[in-house]
Amino acid sequence: MEKFDVIVVGAGLAGLAAAHALADRGVECLVLERGDYPGSKNVTGGRIYVNPVRDLFPDLWPDAPLERFIVHEGVTLMAKERSVSFGYSGDELRTAPHQSYSVLRARFDRWLAERVEEKGAMLLTKTLVTDVLREGGRVAGVVAGGDELRADVVVAADGVLSLTAERAGLHPPLTPREYAVGVKEVIALPAEKIADRFQLTGNEGAARLFVGAATAGLFGGGFLYTNRESVSLGLVIGIAEFLEQDPPRDLPVLMEDFKRRPEIAPLIRDGVTVEYAAHMIPEGGFRGLQPLYGDGMLVVGDAAGFALNLGFTVRGMEYALASGYYAAQAILKAREAGDYGAETLAEYGRLLQESFVLKDFQSFQAAPAFVKNPRFFGHYPEFMGRLLRDIHAVPGGPKDRLYPTLRGHLHLRELWSMFKDFREVTKL
Amino acid sequence: MTDALDLKAKLGLDVFKTGGAPHIRIREGQERAPRLRRMPSLCPAGLYSEGDGGAITLTVDGCLECGTCRLVCGPEVLEWDYPEGGAGVQYRYG
């Protein structure tokens, strides 16, 4: 019977980060990946913010196959018949080290897995974990390909659904309220067209978010990220909100409608869709986090719920990398103690607590409730659209005075509702 | 093109590897479960459809393995596992 020091289930960012840090310290580590190659089952929107994890993996970033560094941030409030956009750019975004990059996971994860193998970890692809081995109440390994594989500790890095953590009894049933579903098309476009359409030079990139009619007024949004020679275009919608919608619309139809919007169509004109992907995303914030450890098991990345949506920034991958790194540190400490019980592995929770990971989740505990305010997706895009329409309108006759026009929109009831909505910002 | 054809064409762009038995199955007697009846509009790959009398059927080919149906319907309604190792969708971009 095979016995390893550590078995990592899933060669995504969290699992590979854990294996990288463990192999770096000479720990015998087996990574099991069900896909054909690492990254083949993984999907991002996507953009990664590098700053929080730059120092955890100093030797990785210089050669990492990232797409473009983001220098333009755009947000569009999308009403049914019009839209209002604002953008931000700055020298701070154009200057190295760059804070965020667009990324495609099949390329990135495959590359990261090669670095992990170089460190001495063993990677087994095309291998599905079908069960968790338990012995005396603790996790003792996994079943994969019909074989029982034993380990001192198992790292559940198998993504948002984490059947591994569920089988170990560490995942209570997931609730639609705390998850969103994303769909994405990768649309190939020549680099010159991307540069022209998004006003970019060299390897600069742009990120755009679309709030409102993109998701038929439901919690979520549209996104667009420029890659080197493609754009990633997609929609994310809260699952509970989608189920409650009336009348029901089809998610694939919403995506097609989004692509046909006048704000989007010219950006992807002559582009060729080369891939269509779907993925589930944790949206529960701090309260949505899953148990992080048990006897003989640690839970990392999406499996633990490490994704955080603050409206303007939507983050997950750096939390995945960091959680894998800190899981590895906790395992190193457990090895010294020669004990892999939950009490020893609780060190993982303490390390996360001291790091940006749980500090962010605690700071932004109120974020899920704030960003799910239905008025941000239905009312405000329409409101801002009407306001800008009337400011810009030049009628056939004399134009109305500006102040009464503004007051027509910003009446007392509206101002009071706005005050109440934005008062919630103080909780963030 | 209709939207259904758009979706078929889009799924045709993805690389799928075959292998093993269908990895998602509707449990017997659950074909009309209320949660399952939400899947025809929600499944990103459009794999669920409603037949006569409201019974839901599933074609698992083209599954993007997002897990949304597992989350919404739960293991009581769906017998759900990932495809066997090396099978199913293989993202080239992701």
Residues of A in contact with B34 (CB under 8 A): none
Burial class (CB in 10 A: 0-12, 13-18, 19+), B81: middle
Out of 3.10.20.600, 3.30.70.20, 2.30.140.10, 3.40.50.150, select the CATH number for domain B3-11+21-83: 3.30.70.20
B2 confidence band (pLDDT: 50, 70, 90): low
Every domain of chain B and the residues it spans: 3-11+21-83
* Cα–Cα distance, A257 to A241 (Å, whole number): 19
- Inter-chain CB proximity B72 and A44 less than 8 Å: no
Tokens, residue B39:
């899947």
- Inter-chain CB proximity B93 and A277 less than 8 Å: yes
Tell whether the model's pLDDT for residue A402 goes beyond 50: yes
Backbone angles phi, psi at A241, to 5 degrees: -65, -40
A2-67+103-172+290-354 has which CATH code?
3.50.50.60
Q: How does DSSP classify residue A96?
A: S
pLDDT digits (tens, 9 = 90+) for A171-202: 988 899 999 999 999 999 999 999 999 999 99
| Omega before A38 within 30 of 0, i.e. cis | no
- Tell me the average pLDDT across A58-70: 96
- Inter-chain CB proximity A239 and B71 less than 8 Å: yes
- Tell me the average pLDDT across A241-265: 94
Assess contact for A101 and A205: CB atoms under 8 A.
yes
Helix (H, G, I), strand (E, B) or coil at A283: coil
* Cα–Cα distance, A79 to A70 (Å, whole number): 26
The 8 Å CB, 24+ separation contacts for A96-99 are A97/A50, A97/A51, A97/A54, A98/A50, A98/A69, A98/A70, A99/A49, A99/A50, A99/A51, A99/A70
Name the minimum distance, in Å, from the CA of A198 to any CA of chain B.
21
Residue entry with tokens 């949660």: B35
Q: How does DSSP classify residue A312?
A: S
Tell whether the model's pLDDT for residue A248 goes beyond 90: no
A to B CB pairs, distance under 8 Å: 133
Query: For A133, what's the count of Cα atoms within 13 Å in the CB-facing half-sphere?
Result: 19
- Give the nearest chain A residue to B2 (CA atoms): A253
Burial class (CB in 10 A: 0-12, 13-18, 19+), A411: exposed
| Omega before B44 within 30 of 0, i.e. cis | no
> In degrees to the nearest 10, what's the CA dihedral of A88, A89, A95, A99?
30
pLDDT digits (tens, 9 = 90+) for B34-86: 999 999 999 999 999 999 889 999 999 999 999 999 999 999 999 999 999 99
Span A177-282 CATH architecture: 2-Layer Sandwich (3.30)
Of B45, B66, B94, the CB nearest to A39: B94
Backbone angles phi, psi at A31, to 5 degrees: -105, 125
- Inter-chain CB proximity B81 and A44 less than 8 Å: no
Assess contact for A301 and A156: CB atoms under 8 A.
no
Judge whether B12 is closer than 8 Å to chain A, CB to CB: no
Tell whether the model's pLDDT for residue B88 goes beyond 50: yes
Task: Please report the sign of the dihedral spanned by the C-alpha atoms of residue A312, residue B7, residue A83, residue A238.
Answer: negative
Every domain of chain A and the residues it spans: 2-67+103-172+290-354, 177-282, 375-427
Tell whether the model's pLDDT for residue B1 goes beyond 50: no
* Cα–Cα distance, A82 to A381 (Å, whole number): 9
pLDDT at A78: 98
C-alpha dist (Å) from residue A347 to A167, A334, A337, A344: 23, 9, 12, 6
Name the minimum distance, in Å, from the CA of A388 to any CA of chain B.
33
Tell whether the model's pLDDT for residue A292 goes beyond 80: yes
Name the minimum distance, in Å, from the CA of A44 to any CA of chain B.
6
Of A173, A252, A275, the CB nearest to B14: A275
C-alpha dist (Å) from residue A322 to A52, A92, A183, A355: 8, 24, 25, 9
Tell whether the model's pLDDT for residue A47 goes beyond 60: yes
* Cα–Cα distance, B83 to A163 (Å, whole number): 13
pLDDT at B6: 84
- Inter-chain CB proximity A242 and B93 less than 8 Å: no
Name the minimum distance, in Å, from the CA of B46 to any CA of chain A.
7
pLDDT at A1: 66
H-helix or E-strand spanning residue A360: helix A356-363
pLDDT at A358: 97
Please report, for chain A, how many H helices and E strands are present, in that order: 16, 19
Percent of chain A clearing pLDDT 90 (strictly above): 93
Residues of B in contact with A43 (CB under 8 A): 91, 94
